[in-house]
């Protein structure tokens, strides 16, 4: 019986061609396959059976990627976890997923063993060493990949949990494979590509979008432990593609070494996981001659939309829906379809969508319409060219004086002001209006912009009800591990601003 995902990931790369280099290793596709087989042996020796969950909380390393591939080879369900989670946070995921094995950094071993219950534990450090690798050296590699169907689970990825307990999105082999094959073709990946991989691999972006797309094409991964502008610029001399979050591009723009010569060998820059400011898009194009390709996805669905490889890459949009992905804009409560240009809930349907939330039928039922469309929680519209424009999360919608205000519209005007680096617009409790539009702004270095000036310059740009009641200045906006602004934290930090208003 085949193992569709594992088989596909090793189908395009010639055994002796380079698969991964960096962090102290240079592996061919044969080497990577052998490493996955050895780790499959370790998983089996530790009691992992097909369908069992394998929870992994380790630093990024080539061996950690091989461990993921080993879990797929073994027919297990991979559970990637942020290394920053505390033992108390980890306890929730272990209790919810009930893994057969928890892999952690050696420094965390005692705490993890105490909360793991009946699960086995093993260690893997940032250098790719630890008890797991010793077990792999002792174990006999199983003869081949465990047979699985496309409907079998390959991974459970937990949502960020910024609005409550994290939910485990159940990702099947079909969901992961169909999405990656689509991206490989859409973004024109070939065996000649060399992808700078500076993303974490506990998240959909780095583990699936980047790694899968490159491996399915037989391309090479240039593995970096983390994003460092200098290291990425150095790697660009021998690379062709960079995938990153917007922070990658703002930090590259702040580096004097970024210019057309530095980017001359690159064919594609891709951004996702958080909104890319239009001014970042334009500044990068001016400096390098490359227009960043922005795309849109989420934990539960993988990628849903992408600006085109050939054709206009429109700043402020995430492009048309991917081939095979149905996308519609709907009235949030009723689900009634809305027309072009109308703002509503973004809903998607396709083989890329998760099978629901792990052991959570109530949340699963809430997330899907009767016709199978998944409610993303994002608000947006489709413009006259068929490009999707995201205006915010539904939980970020501000209702002030009974009127709906989309933060993105206000942020776009503020971000365009001289002296503004970036902004986040939130709604805060207000006795009279219900919610008050509030702007949190980061100034550009040496800018002297103040609240009165921002408000004055917005006066003829926005309707009165959309204009902020207050403008607060901060050194930096709080962000999660993938660069998304944590508006829930901003709302919490400034909750009582209008108390008594």
What does the pLDDT look like over 10-69, one tens digit per residue? 999 999 999 999 999 999 999 999 999 999 999 999 999 999 999 999 999 999 999 999
pLDDT at 223: 98
* 161-165, 280-284, 410-414, 488-492: the lowest-pLDDT one: 161-165
pLDDT at 91: 93
* 110-114, 366-370, 428-432, 485-489: the lowest-pLDDT one: 428-432
Q: pLDDT tens across 159-199, in order? A: 864 445 789 999 999 999 999 999 999 999 999 999 999 99
Tokens 């939980």 correspond to what residue?
Answer: 395
Cα–chain-centroid distance for residue 394? 19
388 within some domain: no
237 within some domain: no
Q: What are phi and psi of 45, to 5 degrees?
A: -65, -30
CATH of the domain at 415: 3.30.300.30
449 within some domain: yes
DSSP 241: E
Q: How far apart are CA 231 and CA 139, in angstroms?
A: 36
H helices of 144-200, where?
Answer: 173-186
End-of-domain residue from the set 148, 178, 206 = 148
218 within some domain: no
Percent of the chain with pLDDT over 90: 85
pLDDT at 297: 96
Q: How far apart are CA 321 and CA 303, in angstroms?
A: 9
Number of domains in the chain: 2
* Cβ pair 308, 319 in contact under 8 A: yes
pLDDT at 163: 43
Tokens 């899907």 correspond to what residue?
Answer: 368
CA–CA–CA angle 323, 168, 198 (5° rounding): 65
The first and second tokens of residue 305, run together, are: 């939309």
Q: pLDDT tens across 233-246, in order? A: 999 999 999 999 98
Question: 3-state DSSP helix/strand/coil percent for the chain, to nearest 5?
Answer: 30, 25, 45
pLDDT at 254: 93
**Segments forming the whole domain that contains residue 128:** 4-9+20-148
H helices of 359-500, where?
Answer: 361-367, 407-415, 451-458, 487-493
* 128-132, 160-164, 284-288, 453-457: the lowest-pLDDT one: 160-164
pLDDT at 164: 56
Cα dist. 327→50, 205, 351, 357, 463 in Å?
34, 20, 12, 21, 30
End-of-domain residue from the set 148, 164, 181 = 148
Q: Which residues fall within 8 angstroms of residue 342, CB to CB, at 6 or more apart? A: 329, 381
What's the farthest any 2 CA atoms get from each other in the chain? 72
The first and second tokens of residue 322, run together, are: 């991917």
* Residue among 456, 470, 454, 452 at smallest CA distance from 415: 454
Percent of the chain with pLDDT over 70: 99
Q: Kindly state the average pLDDT of the residues 248-271.
A: 96
Tokens 């976890």 correspond to what residue?
Answer: 81
Q: How far apart are CA 302 and CA 175, in angstroms?
A: 8
End-of-domain residue from the set 91, 123, 148 = 148
Band of residue 500 on the pLDDT scale cut at 50, 70, 90: low
Collapsed DSSP state (helix, strand, coil) of residue 481: coil
275 within some domain: no
Angle, helices 29-45 vs 131-138, to 10°: value is: 90
* Cα dihedral 169, 173, 179, 181 in deg (nearest 10): 160
Q: Which residues fall within 8 angstroms of residue 200, CB to CB, at 6 or more apart? A: 60, 82, 206, 226, 481
Q: Kindly state the average pLDDT of the residues 442-453.
A: 94
Q: Which residues fall within 8 angstroms of residue 366, CB to CB, at 6 or more apart? A: 375
Mean pLDDT of the chain: 94
CATH of the domain at 130: 3.40.50.980
106 within some domain: yes
Tokens 């009582």 correspond to what residue?
Answer: 496
CB 289: neighbour CB atoms within 10 A? 12
408 within some domain: yes
Point out which residues pair with 171 in neighbouring strands.
Answer: 155
Point out which residues pair with 25 in neighbouring strands.
Answer: 22
* Residue among 304, 471, 476, 462 at smallest CA distance from 390: 304
pLDDT at 274: 82
Q: For 85-97, give the secondary structure using H, E and C.
A: CCHHHHHHHHHHH
317 within some domain: no
């Amino acid at each position: 019986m085949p193992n569709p995902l594992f088989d596909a990931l090793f189908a395009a790369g010639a055994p002796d061609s380079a698969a991964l280099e960096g962090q102290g290793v240079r592996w061919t596709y044969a080497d990577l396959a052998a490493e996955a087989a050895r780790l499959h042996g370790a998983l089996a020796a530790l009691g992992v059976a097909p369908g069992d969950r394998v929870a992994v909380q380790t630093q990024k390393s080539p061996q950690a990627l091989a461990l993921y591939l080993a879990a797929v080879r073994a027919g297990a369900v991979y559970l990637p976890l942020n290394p920053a989670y505390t033992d108390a946070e980890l306890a929730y995921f272990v209790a919810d997923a009930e893994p057969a094995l928890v892999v952690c950094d050696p420094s965390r071993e005692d705490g993890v063993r105490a909360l793991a219950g009946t699960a086995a534990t093993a260690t893997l450090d940032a250098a790719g060493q630890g008890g797991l690798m010793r077990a792999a050296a002792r174990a006999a590699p199983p003869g081949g990949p465990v047979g699985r169907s496309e409907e079998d689970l390959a991974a459970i990825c937990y949502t960020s949990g910024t609005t409550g307990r994290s939910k485990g999105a159940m990702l099947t082999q079909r969901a992961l494979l169909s999405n990656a094959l689509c991206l490989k073709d859409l973004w024109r990946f070939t065996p000649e590509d060399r992808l700078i991989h500076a993303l974490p691999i506990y998240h959909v972006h780095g583990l699936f979008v980047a790694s899968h797309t490159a491996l399915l094409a037989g391309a090479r991964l240039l593995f970096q432990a983390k994003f460092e502008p200098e290291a990425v610029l150095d790697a660009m001399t021998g690379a062709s593609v960079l995938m990153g979050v917007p922070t990658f591009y703002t930090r590259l723009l702040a580096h004097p070494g970024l210019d057309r010569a530095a980017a001359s060998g690159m064919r594609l820059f891709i951004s996702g996981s958080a909104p890319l400011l239009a001014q970042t898009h334009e500044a990068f194009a001016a400096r390098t001659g490359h227009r960043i390709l922005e795309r849109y996805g989420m934990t539960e669905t993988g990628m849903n939309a992408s600006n085109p490889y050939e054709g206009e890459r429109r700043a402020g949009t995430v492009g048309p829906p991917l081939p095979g992905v149905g996308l519609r804009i709907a009235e949030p409560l009723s689900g009634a379809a809305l027309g072009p240009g109308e703002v509503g809930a973004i809903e998607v349907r396709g083989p890329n969508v998760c099978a629901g939330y792990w052991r959570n039928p109530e949340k699963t039922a809430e997330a899907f319409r009767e016709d199978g469309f998944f409610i993303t929680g994002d608000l947006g519209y489709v413009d006259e060219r068929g490009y999707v424009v995201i205006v915010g999360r539904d939980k970020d919608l501000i209702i002030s004086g009974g009127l709906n205000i989309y933060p993105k519209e206000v942020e776009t005007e503020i971000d365009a002001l001289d002296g503004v680096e970036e902004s986040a617009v939130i709604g805060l409790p207000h006795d009279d209006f219900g919610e008050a539009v509030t702007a949190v702004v980061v100034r550009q270095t040496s800018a002297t912009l103040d609240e009165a000036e921002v408000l004055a310059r917005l006066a003829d740009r926005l309707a009165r009800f959309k204009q902020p009641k207050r403008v607060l200045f901060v050194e930096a906006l709080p962000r999660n591990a993938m660069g998304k602004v944590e508006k829930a934290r901003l709302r919490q930090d400034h909750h009582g601003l209008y108390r008594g208003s």
